[in-house]
Amino acid sequence: MCGIVGYVGNKNCVPILLQGLKRLEYRGYDSAGIGIIQEHKSVVIKSKGKVSLLEEKVNELSLSSNIGIGHTRWATHGIPNEQNAHPHTNTDKTLFIIHNGIIENFQVLKNGLMALGYKFDSDTDSEVFAHLIDSFLAKGYNLSKSVQMALNEVDGTYGLAVIYSKEPDKIIAARKGSPLVIGLGNGENFIASDVSPLLAYTKNVIYLDDGEFAEIYKDSYLVKTIADEQIEKEIHEIDMSLDEIDKSGYAHFMLKEIMEQPESVRNSMRGRLLVEEGSAKLGGLTDVLDRLVSSKRIVISACGTSWHAALVGEYMLEQYARIPVEVEYASEFRYRNPLLSGEDSILFISQSGETADTLAALREAKNKGALALGICNVVGSTIARESISGVYIHAGPEIGVASTKAFTSQLVVLALITLLISRRRGLKAAECKKITEALVEIPSKIEKILKLNEGIERLAEEFKDSRNFLYLGRGYNFPVALEGALKLKEISYIHAEGYPAAEMKHGPIALIDEDMPVVFIAPKDSTYEKILSNIQEVRARGGRIIAVADSEDKEIDELVDFTIKIPRTIEILTPILTSIPLQLLAYHIAVKKGLDVDQPRNLAKSVTVE
């Protein structure tokens, strides 16, 4: 979703802002712009489409400035075009604002400002900020005070950065709902939506929290509440290198991230797996373990791929820990006044740790007194910081919009949590040891699956022109069917549905013909015989079948058109393996269709609006 970058220092900010915007491209956007103050005059350049188009425009001019802000916009109010791109300005173009989030009362504010004679150039809600702040500047307040007063009138969410040519030494930033991080350099400081634009310059950062407001100068900064109380903020050191956010020779981030899975999964387990004891050690849960283990119920809430991981978690925890588990879409959970008590634990899964719906659900759960725990990838993200406690999945930066390595690492962490709780609830060590031993073998099994890449690419050629796909699985692999379908639709724009295989005969079977490829996820687990019957049902109706099956499984070859044979593991861990060929299939189909795999249309990596 929208990206913010800002610089104040001694260098020319223009290349820094453009490079920063490129680093933020992965978040998803449809237009971009920069605003700088050059010799007390303000200059704004905007462009629809890619940052490279903005860069071409900027390169035609000779721009140089020590202070500026840049933005990638993901349209909410108003179509993606140059007018609606940020920065937005006040009438005399002395003030620039960039904004992430949504101003809910923008129409009321806009009407009021128009009645005062303010003219609007765009259809966005964000432009309200420029004129509203201007209205306070016109009354004689300084920039800092004017922004504060404007924020008091706004309902909604914002990550906001403002510069003003009459006070050209500072960036004002404020946060409510949309993430912002201040980067602290030497004689230069930065503001950004996440750490990726900062990594080339500094590792020292301050995460702004909701309701906070910052004045950022080249040699200093000040953080306050919007109510004007000064706050001391902790400085964090980012444990991430530039290499981790580069493609490292791969054609796409998505392929790189798929290929990284042996290592990312290893990192998720590192130092946490107690193989001989059949248990796990998760430092983030130590203080809350008694409460978690004695929960009457566990709820897991998330969105998208993380929600699919949650479904697998439900199977894991109910089978081994024997605690009732419910899985909830975060967006539904928060609005239905959920029944929660202090005896419930609720896990929030989020790769980015910034998903607005998941964050709102977390806050709702905390208000209701439940033990609210986070399972996040991005260190220092809002969900990670606001959870009572939690576990990082340590998958490393995930840049491709389609989540891949985060999913498999989420599953590993859910397996570790299952082990921890199950052992404490009396499950025999021997039983749990089967899981710990199988987990140790998972990375090398993933390596074997990744060697199937070329074969899967050939399969993609065969199916790239299909208009629809059905993904079917049972038990632990029903969520994998959902995930396989999501991967395909989000990057290849092919309509795909995931179903529990047995549900097919209650409706989707009507769709089956020779134009409907059906992907069965069919490892030899407790549902294998049942799924063979479902395969027969599709075969009898002429459907073309691809099966993800065990390498030793000969029986299935007779029944299906194509097989992807993967190493065997124990049932609880099969989703970690079966999901990977489906990631590769979606990836190759999208590439063969010539689509933008890492930045698919309309999608954002981190969905920070409701």
User: 350 vs 599, which CB is nearer to ligand AGP?
Assistant: 350
Tell whether residue 304 is a contact of ligand AGP (CB under 6 A). yes
Sheet with 544-550: list strands edge to edge. 495-500, 468-473, 517-522, 544-550, 562-566
- Is residue 2 among the annotated active site residues? yes
User: 491 vs 564, which CB is nearer to ligand AGP?
Assistant: 491
Closest residue to ligand AGP, based on beta-carbon distance: 304
Of 353, 570, 343, nearest to 441 (Cα)?
570
Binding residue (CB under 6 A) for ligand AGP from 125, 127, 194, 490: 490
CA distance 419 to 49: 47
Site of tokens 């991430």: 240
Binding residue (CB under 6 A) for ligand AGP from 122, 352, 436, 574: 352
Least spacing, CB of residue 52 vs ligand AGP, in Å: 23
User: 84 vs 196, which CB is nearer to ligand AGP?
Assistant: 196
Q: Which stretch binds ligand AGP (CB under 6 A): 145-153, 187-195, 300-308, 534-542?
A: 300-308
Least spacing, CB of residue 480 vs ligand AGP, in Å: 14
Tell whether residue 381 is a contact of ligand AGP (CB under 6 A). no
Least spacing, CB of residue 330 vs ligand AGP, in Å: 8
Tell whether residue 305 is a contact of ligand AGP (CB under 6 A). yes
CA angle 476, 479, 481 (to 5 degrees): 105
CA distance 402 to 598: 7
CA distance 323 to 425: 10
Tell whether residue 351 is a contact of ligand AGP (CB under 6 A). yes
CB 516 within 8 A of CB 495: no
Least spacing, CB of residue 607 vs ligand AGP, in Å: 5
Tell whether residue 306 is a contact of ligand AGP (CB under 6 A). yes
User: 264 vs 358, which CB is nearer to ligand AGP?
Assistant: 358
Q: Which stretch binds ligand AGP (CB under 6 A): 10-18, 115-123, 584-592, 601-609?
A: 601-609
Tell whether residue 191 is a contact of ligand AGP (CB under 6 A). no
Least spacing, CB of residue 591 vs ligand AGP, in Å: 16
Q: Which stretch binds ligand AGP (CB under 6 A): 29-37, 262-270, 351-359, 385-393?
A: 351-359
- Is residue 605 among the annotated active site residues? yes
Angstrom distances, CA of residue 226 to CA of 87, 143, 436:
22, 14, 49
Site of tokens 């994998």: 480
Q: In angstroms, how far is CA 236 from the centroid of its own chain?
A: 21
User: 146 vs 352, which CB is nearer to ligand AGP?
Assistant: 352
Site string for ligand AGP, 435-454 (x = CB under 6 A): --------------------
Q: How many CA atoms lie within 13 A of 1 on its CB side?
A: 21
User: 490 vs 550, which CB is nearer to ligand AGP?
Assistant: 490
Binding residue (CB under 6 A) for ligand AGP from 347, 607, 608, 609: 607
Query: What token pair was written down for 58?
Result: 């900027």
CB 347 within 8 A of CB 316: no
Q: Which of 2, 303, 376, 432 is catalytic?
A: 2
Q: How many residues bind ligand AGP (CB under 6 A)?
A: 16
CB 254 within 8 A of CB 393: no
Least spacing, CB of residue 460 vs ligand AGP, in Å: 18
CB 158 within 8 A of CB 100: yes
Q: How many CA atoms lie within 13 A of 365 on its CB side?
A: 31
User: 244 vs 553, which CB is nearer to ligand AGP?
Assistant: 244
Q: Which stretch binds ligand AGP (CB under 6 A): 157-165, 297-305, 312-320, 578-586?
A: 297-305
CA distance 54 to 58: 6
User: 106 vs 307, which CB is nearer to ligand AGP?
Assistant: 307
Q: Which stretch binds ligand AGP (CB under 6 A): 39-47, 310-318, 352-360, 541-549?
A: 352-360
CA distance 521 to 458: 19
Strands 544-550, 562-566: pairing is parallel
Three-state SS for 40-51 is CEEEEEEEECCH
Tell whether residue 355 is a contact of ligand AGP (CB under 6 A). yes
Least spacing, CB of residue 378 vs ligand AGP, in Å: 8
Strand ranges inside 252-324, DSSP E = 273-274, 279-280, 297-302
Binding residue (CB under 6 A) for ligand AGP from 144, 350, 436, 492: 350
Please report, for the chain, how many H helices and E strands are present, in that order: 18, 27
Contacting residues for 94 by C-beta, under 8 A, at least 6 apart: 42, 164, 165, 166
Phi/psi for 174 (5° steps) reads -150, 150
Give me the amino acid identity at 526.
S
Least spacing, CB of residue 600 vs ligand AGP, in Å: 8
CA distance 236 to 516: 51
User: 58 vs 362, which CB is nearer to ligand AGP?
Assistant: 362
* 398-436 b/e (C-beta count within 10 Å ≥ 16 → b): bbbbbbbbbbbbbbbbbbbbbbbbbbeeebeeeebbebb
Least spacing, CB of residue 603 vs ligand AGP, in Å: 6
Strands 221-225, 495-500: pairing is unpaired
User: 125 vs 490, which CB is nearer to ligand AGP?
Assistant: 490
Could you tell me how many residues make up the chain? Answer: 610
CB 121 within 8 A of CB 127: yes
Q: Which stretch binds ligand AGP (CB under 6 A): 266-274, 314-322, 347-355, 562-570?
A: 347-355
Q: Which stretch binds ligand AGP (CB under 6 A): 143-151, 213-221, 345-353, 459-467?
A: 345-353
Binding residue (CB under 6 A) for ligand AGP from 403, 408, 492, 608: 403
User: 66 vs 404, which CB is nearer to ligand AGP?
Assistant: 404
DSSP code, position 158: E
Query: What token pair was written down for 171?
Result: 């960036």
Q: Which stretch binds ligand AGP (CB under 6 A): 182-190, 398-406, 429-437, 474-482?
A: 398-406
Least spacing, CB of residue 578 vs ligand AGP, in Å: 16
Least spacing, CB of residue 379 vs ligand AGP, in Å: 13
Catalogue the active-site residues. 2, 605
In the complex, which residues of this chain contact ligand AGP (CB under 6 A)?
303-306, 350-352, 355, 358, 401-403, 490, 603, 606-607
